Structure 1
Amino acid sequence: MQHNNQASEHTSKARVQDWHTWQSLAFTTSHIFATIDQQLRKECHISLSDFDVLATLRRHDHNQATMACLTATVVVTLSGLSRSVSRLEQAGLVNKEPSEQDKRSMLITLTNQGQEVLKQAIKIHNCVINREVMAKLSLEQRDQLADIVSSITQE
């Protein structure tokens, strides 16, 4: 019976440790996102969500994508995406027009001004990631982190 109690106690401690690990990961990720968002707003006048839209457009052919495509690839709700695209359009960073292939679809295109803002934003994004994460890890820890993230995201 004592063996079962020890196993149960070990399992409980492991669950508590797992919870603390998860909480730390969530807090750290949230802190990094907030720091990036704050820097982007201050220096580029865009949010982290706006950055995600601009960066996603740049990865597509001809720097453009439909709203449906953006919805599937950016990390934001549909209403959040619509607000972000509207802000970016008003700022002259993207153009929004009906698709020639499907008039029901809206095509979002990164403008030259949007490309310039994105270049600056990428530098800021990378600087924050380096300062808040990479500079605090050894090369071995970076490799371990990459392996861990890869394990989590594999389907």
Structure 2
Amino acid sequence: MAGPTRWLTPEEQAAWRAYLGSTRLLVHALDRQLEADAGLSFTEYETLVRLSEAPGRRLRMRDLAGASAATRSGVTRTVTRLERAGLVRRVECEQDRRGMHAELTDAGAAALAAAAPGHVASVRAHLFDHLDPADVGRLRELFGRIRDGLDVTGEGAQAVPPAA
């Protein structure tokens, strides 16, 4: 038996709701900006960033799914859309013919480079312009601790690299 429920205190409840509300609004604002300015969804942008930061601009599809918040099927759909647009290509894994890599194309790198300044400006306007430097350090420390507590791989921060 799990024992009695540990209900949230009023302060914890307020913090939880503030976190949920701000996270939803932030992701929605970032998604809107990327769609309007670059024709990319937030998920597509994150995928391009992760590929751009990978050795050889290539990641195994399962590793791409593990590095993002998306499911494997979600990553497959995203990569399919990016592939149709010529921004990503699928490449067979040399070590395992059953596996596939997603690889950033030159057109994908160019699209990412074009989208990045507007995205970073949006991140700054919607998040960092509301914080002072001490807040930024504290936010990094707090969310790093939360991330590490949720990391089921045991690989720490390296399991999910940051996306811009």
What TM-score range do you get, normalising by the shorter chain? 0.7 to 0.9
Q: 1:17-96 alignment to 2 at 5 Å?
A: 17-96=11-90
User: Which among 87, 93, 108 is matched to residue 99 of structure 1?
Assistant: 93
* Range with greater deviation from structure 2 (116-125 or 36-45): 116-125
Residue 80 of structure 1 deviates from its aligned partner by 1.2
Larger Rg, first or second structure (1 or 2): 1
TM (norm. structure 1) is: 0.85
What percent of counterpart residues are identical? 25
Query: Per-residue deviation at 1:53?
Result: 1.1
User: Shift of residue 119 of structure 1?
Assistant: 1.4
What is the rounded CA distance, in whole Å, between the counterparts of 1:71 and 1:142 in structure 2? 28
Query: Is the partner of 2:40 in helix, strand or coil?
Result: coil
The answer to which of 99-108 and 56-65 deviates more is 99-108
AA aligned to 1:101 is Q
Amino acid across the alignment from 1:149: F
Q: 2:62·2:72 contact (CA, 8 Å) conserved in 1?
A: no
Structure 1 residue 20: Cα displacement: 1.2
Q: Which runs of 5+ in 2 are unaligned?
A: 1-6, 150-164
SS of equivalent to 1:86? helix
Q: Offset of 1:75 from its aligned partner?
A: 1.4
Bigger helix share:
1
> Aligned pair 1:15/2:31, yes or no?
no
Amino acid corresponding to residue 55 of structure 1 in structure 2: V
Q: Distance in 2 between matches of 1:74 and 1:150?
A: 16
Q: Which runs of 5+ in 1 are unaligned?
A: 1-11
RMSD: 1.8
C-alpha contact 2:90 2:100 (8 A) present in aligned 1: yes
How far does residue 100 in structure 1 lie from its aligned partner after superposition? Answer: 2.4
Distance 2:55 2:25 in 1: 33
TM-score (norm 2): 0.80
User: CA deviation digits over 1:76-123, x for unaligned, max 9?
Assistant: 122211110000000000011322222111121100010011112222
Distance 1:66 1:138, change over 3 A: same
Structure 2 CA distance for aligned equivalents of residues 150 and 71 of structure 1: 20
User: What amino acid is the match of 1:47?
Assistant: S
Equivalences, count: 144
